[in-house]
Structure 1
């Protein structure tokens, strides 16, 4: 297989929620593969610092939960700068509380941040991709797309929704030349998981539960993202790619 299948030279990639953690790592990996990267986040100061650190060409600040703001930002960028060839929908959040005590406002925030953002940015970018007859959308799901743990039932619900929205995107948009897939990370050492990483009991449980016997490193998600963003995945659509050290494969 030609190495050029994974070459992203000449492509432009938008990664939401990319000022830290998984989003930042994926943006860096896409840049290393040749893509021109657009970082996104709500905090303009934090976003600027991340863009300077990465040497990214663009920092596009908008609130991905705001449908109108997303549409304006994407349409303006496309008109003034050029095509967005790759979209990585990475924006997300977590809230841990037993389900019987889970606050309603926290549930709504999770839905808006983890699900509405995928719809908002996905739709805004896809409208342009459809006109061009080509595009790659990679949504970030989770091991919780398939499995549940105590205290995060609403998060699990959002990530199940991301997987099915991904399948819906593929079903509606494959005929226009788009490939829409998702990466489902297992347990990775990120700011979102800081409380768990610092808990010796949880880390011990995770190492025993995961066949690979350890936390994942965010760089280990890059290969999957490049694959789903490149010509190597030209006939892959509606797929959920688990990158989890084997945790969903074992009891």
Structure 2
């Protein structure tokens, strides 16, 4: 007889989920986790963003959700919040930045800024939250990476390097934390309509080329990232760790933008 209840295995009732980075995709993920029954703590550098997302969760359940200002570039700040939050069942990391330049045009400051937020902060946040999961023998961590972890284009080199680095951290942590019952996975979005991609979408030809690169022929909406995260957070993914789930509309499955004629 299975130990999983198929009727509830996607539910997160009674679990405490923390979302780090609540703008755009992060806000939708927080809403999705709450809709599945989790109590959600919203963490963001901008207190107003964290509070707005928390307040938007009020209709999902009567439990008290929380909002915390936290600068993920400050390990001490992250550590204090992790201590305040206590036991955490689900940790989702979404914070990221990009400077779209060719590598030879990058300044050292720009390199440090992108690596610091995308890679170093992932390292620091996991180190702050994972030990208590290890002590309890359970937990699910989900890091958002990108299609750029596996495919790249001019101007995306440093960003891509950080996302590939996060992917390798996820794999290593899955090996190190797995024996303690803690799972860690990545969700890799394709092109998503967020403030980070506004520059691309503002250029009609550029935006259309990106849309046509995927099998579905369009950009993703932020809410389309939620299902993969909620699945990985839940018991439905109880034997999934060290994986990177591509939520890219088929971008990485297709070679080039040309559709050849048939017949």
Q: Please, what TM-score do these two structures have when normalized by structure 2?
A: 0.91
Match of 1:74 among 56, 60, 82: 82
Once residues 218 and 64 of structure 1 are traced to their aligned partners in structure 2, the CA distance between those partners, rounded to angstroms, is 22
Q: 1:22 aligns with which of 20, 25, 34?
A: 25
Identify which of 36, 40, 43 aligns with 2:43: 40
| Map of 2:116 onto structure 1 | 112
Give 2:260's aligned residue.
none
1:133 aligns with 2:137: yes
Aligned to 2:259: none
Which string of whole-angstrom CA distances, capped at 9 and with x for unpartnered residues, describes residues 145-204 of structure 1? Answer: 101111121000000001000001101000000110000000010111111122111122
Deviation at 1:207?
A: 2.3
1:46: Cα distance to partner?
2.9
How much does 1:53 deviate? 2.9
Match of 1:238 in 2: 242
The reply on whether 1:92 has 2:96 as its aligned counterpart is yes
Cα deviation code 1:3-42 (max 9, x no counterpart): 3110001111101111x21111111111111111111111
The offset of 1:50, in angstroms, is: 2.8
Mapped to 2, the partners of 1:202 and 1:161 lie a distance apart of 27
Higher gyration radius (CA): 2
RMSD value, Cα: 1.2
Q: Find the aligned partners of 1:50 and 1:36 in 2 and give their Cα distance.
A: 13
Q: Is the 8 A contact 1:143 1:244 kept in 2?
A: yes
Any conservation in 2 of the 1:182–1:241 contact (CA below 8 Å)? yes
Aligned to 1:195: 199
Give the aligned partner of residue 61 of structure 2: none
**2:30/2:53 contact within 8 Å kept:** no
The 2-side partners of 1:3 and 1:111 are apart by: 42
State yes or no: 1:158 paired with 2:162.
Answer: yes
Q: In 1, distance between residues paired with 2:236 and 2:252?
A: 25
Unaligned runs of 5+ in 1: none
Q: Are the equivalent residues in 2 in contact too, given 1:137–1:180 (CA < 8 A)?
A: yes
Paired with 2:72 and 2:98, the residues of 1 have a C-alpha distance of 16
SS in 2 for 1:4: coil
Is structure 2 residue 157 aligned with structure 1 residue 149? no
The offset of 1:208, in angstroms, is 2.2
Give me the whole-angstrom Cα distance separating, in 2, the residues matched to 1:213 and 1:8.
Answer: 33
Count of matched residue positions in the alignment of Structure 1 and Structure 2: 246
The answer to whether the Cα contact below 8 Å between 1:89 and 1:117 also exists between their aligned partners in 2 is no
Write the distance in 1 (CA, Å) between the matches of 2:138 and 2:162.
27
